Structure 1
């Protein structure tokens, strides 16, 4: 069985890599404006964001969409 997912642009991309990319491209304030989640507003850090996003699928989906939009530009 082939585990490759050619139609999934997030296949093989770790959440940590997504957050590192976004925090290099945007400030925390800009991220909070684009994705309205508290972990980007209140004492933001990559570590706290990872913890929250791993437990919160709807927020992770929003961050992944922002990432996909950002890499297309």
Structure 2
């Protein structure tokens, strides 16, 4: 594993797992409020979210950043 991958919090995490984690933590309604995209606000599902996020880099980046913040927050709570 390269040094860059070792420091990448997204390494080894699928987009599907990210969406599932965020939905479990926040629910679709709050997720749609935090990131204003239709796939979270109108008839949301993991499948529709993945389809949209794979085609839309700016939205995927926002979702990944929210997931990273969630992981950082969970790590702080563990300490």
1:7, distance to aligned residue in structure 2 (A):
1.6
Secondary structure, in 3 states, of the residue corresponding to 1:69?
helix
**Between structures 1 and 2, the one with greater helix share:** 2
Distance 1:68 1:56 in 2: 18
Q: TM-score, normalised by structure 2?
A: 0.85
Match of 1:49 in 2: 49
Scaled by the length of structure 1, the TM-score of the pair is 0.92
Q: 5+ unaligned residues in a row in structure 2: which ranges?
A: 74-79
**Partner residue in 2 for 1:38:** 38
Runs of 4+ in 1 over 6 A off after TM superposition: none
RMSD of equivalent CA atoms:
1.2
